[in-house]
Amino acid sequence: MLIRGGRVWFWRWRRNPLKRRSDVAEAWIGVAAATTLLVTAPAVGMTMAGVGESAALGQAQGLHRAAARLVEDAAATPSGLPGMAEDQVRATVRWTTPDGSLKTGEAPVAAGGRAGSSTTVWLDGAGRLRPAPPTPAQARSQGVALGASAGAGACALVVGGWWAARGWLDGRRRTQWDDAWARFDAQRGQRHA
């Protein structure tokens, strides 16, 4: 018999006249939850990591680099806006579309750039400015973040289901105890009458 810290381990698996069917059911639900955690969480995490990485890399499809010129001087200090590199600011640039027309718009450029200097922008098939697609390393890290979140979500669902099943079984055992005490009190009352 394994006894640690005053607890008897694996008591639900031993012969015991006080063991109820709900105790055995709870043990098997625990085994099923542990097995599901060991199999499902990594599978969901790996699948979603691959999907996230593919989706991030798919953002580059249909985009192409184009040369542009700064219309105005770029700010010397980076603004720290989300979606831009640490050394970038937004500035007005001019570029030529695939059909040969000139367009002007705001794009992320290196901080401190002078008017007339060249920079690179990303355009879609219609010649509109688009954010730079993620690099393979960024796509991988996005995939890992998505996979970790999905794996954690799968774990939360399994543990939540296990917890709910235990709560239901505990409620059922309390009801059985109440019924047993009611029968005991009824029998005891008949003896005294």
pLDDT tens digits for 58-115?
Answer: 888 888 888 888 888 877 776 666 656 667 788 889 888 777 888 888 888 888 888 8
Instruction: Please report which confidence band the pLDDT of residue 57 belongs to, taking 50, 70 and 90 as the band edges.
Output: confident
Judged on CB neighbours under 10 Å (0-12, 13-18, 19+), 164 is exposed
Kindly state the average pLDDT of the residues 142-169.
95
If one counts every other C-beta atom within 10 angstroms of the C-beta of residue 158, the result is 19
Half-sphere exposure of 45 (CA within 13 A, CB side): 16
Task: Look at residues 76, 181, 64, 176 and name the one whose alpha carbon lies nearest to residue 124.
Answer: 64
Say yes or no to pLDDT of 148 above 70: yes
Looking at residue 13, what is its pLDDT?
64
Looking at residue 36, what is its pLDDT?
93
Looking at residue 191, what is its pLDDT?
61
Q: Of all residues in the chain, what percent carry a pLDDT higher than 70?
A: 86
Looking at residue 89, what is its pLDDT?
83
Looking at residue 128, what is its pLDDT?
83
Task: Look at residues 139, 173, 186 and name the one whose alpha carbon lies nearest to residue 25.
Answer: 173
Task: Look at residues 87, 84, 91 and name the one whose alpha carbon lies nearest to residue 70.
Answer: 91
Kindly state the average pLDDT of the residues 162-179.
92
Listed in sequence order, the DSSP H helices in the chain are 21-58, 136-192
Looking at residue 81, what is its pLDDT?
61
Q: What angle do CA 13, 161, 171 make, to 5 degrees?
A: 70
Domain boundaries, the chain: 20-57+140-187, 61-132
Report the C-alpha gap between 57 and 135 in whole angstroms. 8
* Amino acid of residue 125: G
The whole-chain average pLDDT of the chain stands at 84
Task: Look at residues 94, 96, 119 and name the one whose alpha carbon lies nearest to residue 106.
Answer: 94
* Amino acid of residue 57: L
Helix axes 21-58, 136-192, angle to 10 degrees: 160
Q: Kindly state the helix (H) or strand (E) to which residue 120 belongs, with its residue range.
A: strand 118-123
Looking at residue 163, what is its pLDDT?
95
